[in-house]
């Protein structure tokens, strides 16, 4: 009670114009964050197709979800994508960052070029890659068959489709992570390498014992960003495969989208989204616990 | 309409943004009480036609004539607001209570939601409804548009029967003057093209091509027309229960499976130009909208039109799927009688002729080929005769809950059995039926 009255007197004594300046963000927050979140939570317990009135169905959306083989499949597909995409992205980004951190010609040009795909629209990139991956007339298979190798069913075989999407997503996003790694590399003190060289450490030893440990905070950030980005996999399967072949690229986001905007199952989609958000939260917390190994900067 | 456009269309963020904008704008523009001008006693109606240029031109000319002849009932033509699909916009407007008085772009598959929301007026309430409709639409066809509650909420206005459009030159080079009529002929021609591709690597022509992605509306161009054809016009449901577990559905799945197994169709999809226009495809399953496209972009193509192939032992008329667009009156109208008068005006024979001439679309009329009013048009456009003949043997989708999700389930089984051969036709049909039953059950 005392603290409430202290808060009220604090507000009374504060500069009122400050609240006025905060008002645009407060309105934005209420309209576009708080209201949709609260509304989504209410939807979880309802059946609603936008047109007919909402119908209270308690936990039936969850009962349906746990019997829904497609949602389980979508979660597994998303995890498969993460397992393929994150290591690929980190390894490639690290290799290019190390190269671009060394004294090579046209370093600035290369740094820009590798960043280009990040700024290009995801839809445009996806449509272009769908052309490249085309089984009958794509450039990749044309090159392969020209040199005598068999054509690869990039997007038309359930075993190849998700790895193909992971390769494309890596190409699209790796530029951003190269920049993050470059920042990390440039903060490593030069004297550490100098001391290691005096002690006779090889390049490999320096990389394993100085570069990698010192990059740990960057790796954690990239891991978490990639995980969150990977969980939101949507545009690529939506445009390239529609979730096929045989649901092998049906991501959780695509499934939620289909339920909400193709079939108008707003309540069910909200319940799926809620559970999916909990899964993302758990995975990210687990990652932080496993990956954060301490501070090497001191 | 969204599912006739085989490109990917708008992407999600845009789509969500559009829905929000539509809801917002519609709510801002909620109808005020000014639909009757008190001073002049003029009733004002709002009419939404499809937003494509041809139908807007048609609607504009019809509304001008109506307004000239009916000074006390003035109609305002306003194309359906732009959205991902007409159904989406109409759903949003029903939710916002901002529907027009009349709309002529109602897809029967969306009717379940519209009627459940109480959004439409049953036409039986108009005393002359029966006589007006039966003089225009064959009664057997009209019955397929009756809702489960026994009422008719939509007037069948126009349709685009899905038929087989074929490239005469390609078939002639194979030694055939006539298009394939039955499954075995289709497969035989496709195999011959496959052999030619094997022998000549530069030759890249296929018997047909379908987008293999499991997208629900893609079934309007393969499974549904072929199933309606094979089954003699049976649709997927009967009295709201699944009715497609039968030998016809299995035959269709088996036929398309063979098409992929025998390399009659490529196992791919393309975002590039229509392969039929590039003459890389001997046949295409499409509606009459394809004809102006061919004439405009590939006038050199010598093409013909035929019904979709049927099982070898098929007898009787050949039905197909048709993309019907119907007329409904929304329950928000304050003037149902005036709206009905305008609807009757829209479906007069003279105006159906305009529909043919301006929009190149087939009116749902029983007398299309016997009424002398249309003779000149069909003499000048012989390609359209087959579509007109087919129109009465055309079926739409059933008015059941979640028809899109049911077609999605069917698409997934179709993909597994047809494209990848992972399931037998019987297994695929049974699995699709089980999922359809679950979806129906969920909606009870």
Q: Give the whole-angstrom CA distance, residue B105 versus residue B177.
A: 39
- B132 and B279 part of one domain: no
What is the span of the domain harbouring residue B132?
Answer: 32-153+325-363
CATH of the domain at B270: 3.40.190.10
User: Is the pLDDT confidence value at B34 over 50?
Assistant: no
Per-residue pLDDT tens digits for B82-121: 766 777 788 778 877 788 999 999 988 888 888 888 889 9
Residues B124-153, mean pLDDT to the nearest whole number: 88
Residue-wise pLDDT tens digits, A66-124: 888 899 999 999 999 999 999 999 999 999 999 988 877 888 888 888 888 888 888 99
Rounded to a whole number of angstroms, the distance between the first and last alpha carbons of chain B is: 29
**What part of B 64-93 touches A (C-beta under 8 Å)?**
91-92
Backbone angles phi, psi at B140, to 5 degrees: -60, -40
- Residue B67 located in a structural domain: yes
Number of separate domains in chain B: 2
Contacts by A126-132, CB closer than 8 A, 24 or more apart: A126/A168, A126/A235, A126/A236, A126/A239, A126/A240, A127/A239, A127/B8, A127/B271, A129/A168, A129/A171, A129/A240, A130/A155, A130/A239, A130/A240, A130/B271, A131/B271, A131/B272
pLDDT of residue B10: 45
Contact A156 B422 (CB under 8 A): no
Give the global pTM.
0.79
Domain-terminating residue out of B309, B339, B363 = B363
Residue at B19 is within a domain: no
Q: Inter-chain contact A51–B91, Cβ cutoff 8 Å?
A: yes
Q: Do B214 and A51 count as a contact with CB atoms less than 8 A apart?
A: no
Q: Report CB contact under 8 Å: B117, A242.
A: no
Residue indicated by tokens 């309209």: A31
Residue A6: pLDDT band with limits 50, 70, 90? confident
- Look at B12 and A241 and tell me if their CB atoms are within 8 Å: no
Q: Is residue B18 part of a domain?
A: no
Q: Which residues of B touch A257 (CB under 8 A)?
A: 12
Domains of chain A by start residue, with CATH: 2-61 (no CATH), 68-291 (1.10.3720.10)
Residues of chain A with a CB closer than 8 angstroms to some CB in chain B: 49-52, 64, 123, 127, 130-131, 134-137, 153, 156, 158, 234-235, 238-239, 241-247, 257-258, 261-265
- Partners of residue B116 in chain A, C-beta under 8 Å: 51-52
State whether B171 and B241 are in the same domain. Answer: yes
B227 within some domain = yes
B178-B181-B187 Cα angle (round to 5): 95
For residue A40, list chain B residues with Cβ-Cβ distance below 8 A: none
Same domain as B301, residue B176: yes
Q: How far is A166 from chain B (nearest CA, A)?
A: 19
A64–B442 C-beta distance less than 8 A: yes
Beta-carbon contacts below 8 Å between A and B:
88
- Is B89 part of any domain? yes
**B-chain residues within 8 Å CB-CB of A156?**
212, 267-268, 419
Q: pLDDT tens-digit profile of B61-78?
A: 999 999 999 999 999 999
Average pLDDT over residues A181-187: 92
> Do B231 and B267 have their domain in common?
yes
Chain B residues within 8 A of A264 when measuring between CB atoms: 91, 113
Distance of CA A150 to CAs A140, A154, B203, B212, B318, Å?
11, 12, 19, 21, 42
């Amino acid at each position: 009670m005392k603290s409430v009255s202290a808060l009220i007197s604090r507000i009374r004594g504060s500069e009122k114009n400050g609240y006025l300046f905060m008002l645009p963000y407060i309105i934005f927050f209420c309209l576009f964050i708080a209201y949709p979140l609260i509304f989504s939570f209410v939807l979880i317990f309802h059946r609603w197709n936008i047109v007919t009135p909402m119908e209270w169905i308690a936990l039936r959306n969850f009962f349906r979800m746990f019997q829904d083989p497609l949602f389980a499949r979508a979660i597994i597909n998303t995890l498969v994508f993460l397992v393929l995409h994150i290591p690929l992205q980190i390894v490639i980004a690290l290799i290019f960052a190390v190269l671009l951190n060394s004294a090579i010609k046209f370093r600035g040009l290369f740094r820009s070029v590798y960043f280009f795909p990040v700024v290009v629209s995801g839809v445009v990139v996806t449509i272009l890659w769908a052309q490249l991956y085309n089984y009958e007339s794509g450039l990749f298979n044309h090159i392969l068959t020209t040199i005598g190798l068999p054509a690869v069913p990039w997007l038309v075989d359930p075993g190849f489709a998700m790895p193909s999407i992971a390769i494309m997503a890596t190409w699209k996003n790796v530029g951003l992570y190269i920049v993050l790694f470059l920042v990390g590399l440039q903060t490593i003190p030069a004297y550490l390498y100098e001391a290691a060289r005096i002690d006779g450490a090889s390049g490999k030893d320096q990389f394993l014992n100085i570069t990698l440990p010192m990059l740990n905070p960057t790796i954690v950030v990239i891991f978490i960003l990639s995980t969150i980005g990977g969980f939101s996999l949507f545009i690529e399967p939506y445009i390239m495969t529609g979730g096929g072949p045989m649901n092998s690229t049906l991501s959780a986001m695509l499934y939620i989208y289909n339920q909400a905007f193709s079939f108008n199952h707003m309540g069910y989609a909200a319940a799926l989204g809620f559970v999916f958000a909990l899964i993302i939260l758990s995975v990210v917390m687990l990652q932080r616990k496993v990956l954060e190994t301490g501070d090497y900067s001191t | 309409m969204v599912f006739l456009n085989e490109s990917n269309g708008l992407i999600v963020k845009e789509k969500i943004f559009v829905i929000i904008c539509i809801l917002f704008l519609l709510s801002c523009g909620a109808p005020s009480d000014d639909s009757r001008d008190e001073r002049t006693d003029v009733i004002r109606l709002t009419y939404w036609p499809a937003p494509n240029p041809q139908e807007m031109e048609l609607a504009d000319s019809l509304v001008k004539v109506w307004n000239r002849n009916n000074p006390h009932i003035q109609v305002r033509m306003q194309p359906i607001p732009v959205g991902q699909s007409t159904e989406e916009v109409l759903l949003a407007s029903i939710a916002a209570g901002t529907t027009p008085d009349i709309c002529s772009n109602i897809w029967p598959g969306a009717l379940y939601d519209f009627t459940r929301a109480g959004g439409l007026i049953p036409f039986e309430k108009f005393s002359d409804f029966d006589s007006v409709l039966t003089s225009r639409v064959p009664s057997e066809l009209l019955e397929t548009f009756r809702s489960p509650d026994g009422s008719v909420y939509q007037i069948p206005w126009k349709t685009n029967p899905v038929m087989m459009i074929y490239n005469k030159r390609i078939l002639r080079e194979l030694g055939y003057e006539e298009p394939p009529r039955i499954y075995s002929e289709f497969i035989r021609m496709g195999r011959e093209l496959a052999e030619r591709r094997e022998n000549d690597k530069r030759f890249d022509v296929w018997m047909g091509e379908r987008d293999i992605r499991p997208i629900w509306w893609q079934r309007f161009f393969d499974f549904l027309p072929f199933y309606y054809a094979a089954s003699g016009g049976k649709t997927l449901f009967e009295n709201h229960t699944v009715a497609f577990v039968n030998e016809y559905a299995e035959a269709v799945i088996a036929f398309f499976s063979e098409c992929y197994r025998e390399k009659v169709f490529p196992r791919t999809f393309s975002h590039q130009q229509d392969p039929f226009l590039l003459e890389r495809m001997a046949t295409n399953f499409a509606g009459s909208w394809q004809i102006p496209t061919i004439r405009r972009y590939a006038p050199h193509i010598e093409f013909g039109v035929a019904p979709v192939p049927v099982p070898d032992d098929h007898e009787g008329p050949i039905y197909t799927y048709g993309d019907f667009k119907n007329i409904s009156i929304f329950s928000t109208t304050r003037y149902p009688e005036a709206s009905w008068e305008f609807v009757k005006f829209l479906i007069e024979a003279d105006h159906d002729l305009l529909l043919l001439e301006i929009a190149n679309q087939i009116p749902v009329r029983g007398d299309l080929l016997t009424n002398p009013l249309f003779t000149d048009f069909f003499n000048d456009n012989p390609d359209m005769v087959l579509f007109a003949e087919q129109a009465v043997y055309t079926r739409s989708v059933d008015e059941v809950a979640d028809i899109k999700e049911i077609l999605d389930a069917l698409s997934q089984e179709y993909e597994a059995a047809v494209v990848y051969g992972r399931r037998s036709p019987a297994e695929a049909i049974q699995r699709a039926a089980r999922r359809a039953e679950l979806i129906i059950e969920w909606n009870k």
